[in-house]
């Protein structure tokens, strides 16, 4: 049996301000750091030895993982991959979710946030929030930097990376991935075989480890959140 632990980063500064964040590289709040520390303690209680750690290129996910590793007393180098980044929200990036709901309607915002293949308008390349203008992505080829994404787009890059780099290790290793709401939703869709309607209902809480147990042939046996008080419905377990 092997274990995969998925952790959405702790609360970020833009989570607190209720802004669409996407590829913008913001850090954790004090609450987010506390959530990450608690995540580490919950994982430690499970007595799971992690062989491989993965994260996105983004600060909030990286720092969540660093805090977890500190609690676990594990200094292994972790793999960073742009493919695990949050979904890009196009022209919604930096805007307040509540204000936009009032402006264009909750239904439209829900479509942008939760639908499978609807994407916001693309962000102009000279916009301050475009990945081209963010230092974190200076080393990435320009053609990899999105202007906007749907969940479908996010799913394709996340799962391609997971299949090529991570899934094969699950046969005999325990893995922890610190990532984002939509990259983790993509992984859950793939691992739990959720359809395009189910995925729109899946919520991923910040800083709450999702522990997934696999059989020797990489079949999902069970999945549950370690912080039961903040757990969300996994739809299939």
Residues taking part in catalysis: 9, 86
Please say whether the beta carbons of 1 and 199 come within 8 A.
no
In the chain, which ranges are continuous DSSP H helix? 13-16, 30-45, 59-72, 97-104, 106-114, 151-161, 181-192
Please say whether the beta carbons of 36 and 10 come within 8 A.
yes
Please say whether the beta carbons of 56 and 12 come within 8 A.
no
Separation of alpha carbons 200 and 195, rounded Å: 9
């Amino acid at each position: 049996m092997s274990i995969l632990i998925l952790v959405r980063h702790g609360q970020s500064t833009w989570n607190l301000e209720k802004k669409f964040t996407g590829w913008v590289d913001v850090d954790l709040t004090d609450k987010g750091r506390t959530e990450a520390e608690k995540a580490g303690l919950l994982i430690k209680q499970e007595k799971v030895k992690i062989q491989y750690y993965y994260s996105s290129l983004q600060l909030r996910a990286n720092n969540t993982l660093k805090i977890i590793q500190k609690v676990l007393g594990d200094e292994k180098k972790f793999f960073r991959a742009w493919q695990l980044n949050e979904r890009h929200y196009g022209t919604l990036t930096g805007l307040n979710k509540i204000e936009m709901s009032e402006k264009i309607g909750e239904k439209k915002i829900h479509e942008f946030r939760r639908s499978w293949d609807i994407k916001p308008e693309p962000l102009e390349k000279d916009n301050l929030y475009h990945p081209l203008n963010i230092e974190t992505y200076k080393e990435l080829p320009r053609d990899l930097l999105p202007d906007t994404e749907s969940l479908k787009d996010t799913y394709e890059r996340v799962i391609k990376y997971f299949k090529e780099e991570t899934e094969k290790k699950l046969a005999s290793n325990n893995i922890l991935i610190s990532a984002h709401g939509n990259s983790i939703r993509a992984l859950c869709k793939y691992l739990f075989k959720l359809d395009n309607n189910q995925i729109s209902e899946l919520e991923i809480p910040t800083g709450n480890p999702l522990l997934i147990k696999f059989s020797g042939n990489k079949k999902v046996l069970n999945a549950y959140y370690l912080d039961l008080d903040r757990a969300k419905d996994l739809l299939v377990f």
